[in-house]
Amino acid sequence: MIAENIAKIRAALPEGVKLVAVSKLKPVEDIMEAYRAGQRAFGENYATELRDKHAQLPDDIEWHFIGHLQGKQLKYYIQFVSMIHGVDSLEHLADVNHAAEKAGRTVDVLLQVHVAQEETKFGFLPEELVKLEELEKLVHVRICGVMGMASHTDDEARVREDFRRIHSLFDTLKAGPFRDRPEFREVSMGMSHDWPIAVEEGSTLIRLGTSIFGARDYSKKQ
């Protein structure tokens, strides 16, 4: 079933949109089924779970950390993570830069944008991002784009407007402080319940878990 789900999603994705399979709280057996179906990019939300799965699974898996970033937990995955999606403040950007420097790496990151109407979501406000300064000092992070989530609502118009705001901010940054940075090209938005809208509004990375692996048992949360 996992392989079939991946095949259906891939068939519906336009060229240039990458699927990140969100495997949090799922066993390594499920991840291996997706791996055997050709999936290589996987997203995890919890630092120690990501560390443990990395140790058990093939080396060519591309790991994305998509959870809420905590500076003290970077040590669990900074050595191997391919991309960190949720850098939501200048403080956390500096934390990643420092951890990556200690690890002797330059790590790809996305700037998390807050446009949703819920107070619980993290991220830069749009007016903060367009004023970012001192980025040249952060030589161990490579800012590759933005990440954002739409409001949790059944109102498709609201969801679409949120995604448009995220992409509009990406365009503003691309034309401004990141105009000379070809690596700044990713827009990570869209999850299992709203990814078709996100793709229509310009997403380049979609993060799907339930659509691939089925519902999760949150009693197993670390």
pLDDT tens for the 222 residues of the chain, in order: 999 999 999 999 999 999 999 999 999 999 999 999 999 999 999 999 999 999 999 999 999 999 989 999 999 999 999 999 988 888 899 999 999 999 999 999 999 887 766 555 566 665 666 556 666 678 999 999 999 999 888 999 999 999 999 999 899 889 888 888 899 999 999 999 999 999 999 999 999 999 999 987 766 555
> Strand, coil or helix: what is 68?
coil
Q: What is the pLDDT of residue 178?
A: 86
Q: What is the pLDDT of residue 122?
A: 62
Q: Is residue 176 a part of any domain in this protein? A: yes
Q: What is the pLDDT of residue 89?
A: 84
Closest CA to 47 of 19, 66, 29, 28: 66
Q: Is residue 105 a part of any domain in this protein? A: yes
What would the two tokens of residue 59 be?
A: 């080396």
Q: Is residue 219 a part of any domain in this protein? A: no
Residue-number span of the structural domain to which 6 is assigned:
2-212
Q: Is residue 220 a part of any domain in this protein? A: no
Q: Is residue 217 a part of any domain in this protein? A: no
Q: Strand 18-22 to strand 41-44: parallel, antiparallel, or no bridges (unpaired)?
A: parallel
Q: Is residue 19 a part of any domain in this protein? A: yes
Residue 165 vs residues 89, 122, 126: alpha-carbon distances, Å: 19, 16, 9
Q: What CATH number does residue 61 fall under? A: 3.20.20.10
Q: Is residue 222 a part of any domain in this protein? A: no
Determine if the pTM surpasses 0.85.
Answer: yes
Q: What is the pLDDT of residue 152?
A: 85
Which residues have CB under 8 Å from 222's CB, separation 6+? 46, 48, 49
Number of domains comprising the chain: 1
Buried b (16+ CB within 10 A) or exposed e, 94-127: bbbbbbbbebeeebbbbbbbbbbeeeebebbebe
Q: Is residue 218 a part of any domain in this protein? A: no
Q: What is the pLDDT of residue 131?
A: 57
